[in-house]
Chain A
């Protein structure tokens, strides 16, 4: 009698485990399928040239993360460089359609006026403006 009951319990446990595996399988599959089309593209230690309405900008970073068709996130040490300036910073966001790049981390800029350091920046390329945030120091060329 006891042997019969324990066999029943073992069978129930096996069935339960199989059902659990099926559930896990199903729930694992769905997100993989849906995420596939939205997968981020990541490139490490890269440097490239981007062509925009306002000119050519050279972009480089320890890690480039393509968030979507319009947004790029430069992770780690990064730089933006064009004919007017070189911006060296960390963790820079770029919106390609709006031509806006920004960062809330320390940044250093070299241009024909001198060397500038700030605690963050927002560059609006199509307006020709760069807003440097926080304490800013611009050392002028002699």
Chain B
């Protein structure tokens, strides 16, 4: 009985630790309250309830709402990797808007899942509607791909 109790506490702590939202930076983080943003540098990790993102630099804009600050737009620069469920998005630059839950990646992007790897120039990941749009660099090369993730990869 006691073992079960401890196990439940452990699971509770573990689940809370995993749901934690945070920003980590390896070199520095600048909080600019005049311009309402945070700039993180060096091995940046950003995690929220939706995804976890890695990059060399991050600029996160925020608004103040009910005495708390909320990130609205997050920009990630260089060596961007975003892990969302069983998918991994990669690119040189990414912008996430909280309002519509859309991540847009540009520059040598790729989308990788257990069953596929697609590459292109631009990737738009619509998290709410579970859709991915992959565009090529220009009209002559490759095609536009619309991926409906309900198709289970």
In the complex, A135 has a CB within 8 A of chain B: yes
Q: How far is the CA of A132 from the CA of B42 in the complex (A)?
A: 12
Contact A131 B33 (CB under 8 A): no
Q: How large is the interface on B (under 10, 10 to 19, 20 to 34, 35 or more residues)?
A: 20 to 34
Q: Which of B1-37 contact A (CB under 8 A)?
A: 20-35
Q: How far is the CA of A112 from the CA of B62 in the complex (A)?
A: 11
Contact A127 B29 (CB under 8 A): no
Q: How far is the CA of A118 from the CA of B31 in the complex (A)?
A: 12
Q: How large is the interface on A (under 10, 10 to 19, 20 to 34, 35 or more residues)?
A: 20 to 34
Distance from A134 Cβ to chain B, minimum over Cβ atoms (Å): 7
List, in ascending order, chain B residues with CB within 8 A of A114's CB: 22
The residue on B at minimum CB distance from A139 is: B22
List, in ascending order, chain A residues with CB within 8 A of B152's CB: none
Contact A129 B69 (CB under 8 A): no
In the complex, B123 has a CB within 8 A of chain A: no
The total of Cβ contacts below 8 Å across the A-B interface reads 68
Q: How far is the CA of A133 from the CA of B25 in the complex (A)?
A: 9
Interface on chain A toward B: helix, strand, loop, or mixed SS? Answer: strand
Do A135 and B24 form a contact, CB below 8 Å, given A127-B34, A128-B33?
Answer: yes
Q: How far is the CA of A133 from the CA of B71 in the complex (A)?
A: 21
Contact B25 A113 (CB under 8 A): no
Contact A112 B25 (CB under 8 A): no
List, in ascending order, chain B residues with CB within 8 A of A133's CB: 28
Distance from B72 Cβ to chain A, minimum over Cβ atoms (Å): 12
In the complex, B150 has a CB within 8 A of chain A: no
Most A Cβ at <10 Å: residue of B24, B27, B28, B64: B28
Q: Which of B22-56 contact A (CB under 8 A)?
A: 22-35, 38, 40, 48
Residues on A facing B (Cβ under 8 Å): 84, 111-114, 116, 118, 127-142
Residues on B facing A (Cβ under 8 Å): 20-35, 38, 40, 48, 62, 64, 67-69, 71
10 contacts between A and B (CB under 8 A): A127-B34, A130-B30, A131-B28, A132-B30, A135-B26, A136-B23, A136-B28, A139-B21, A140-B71, A142-B21
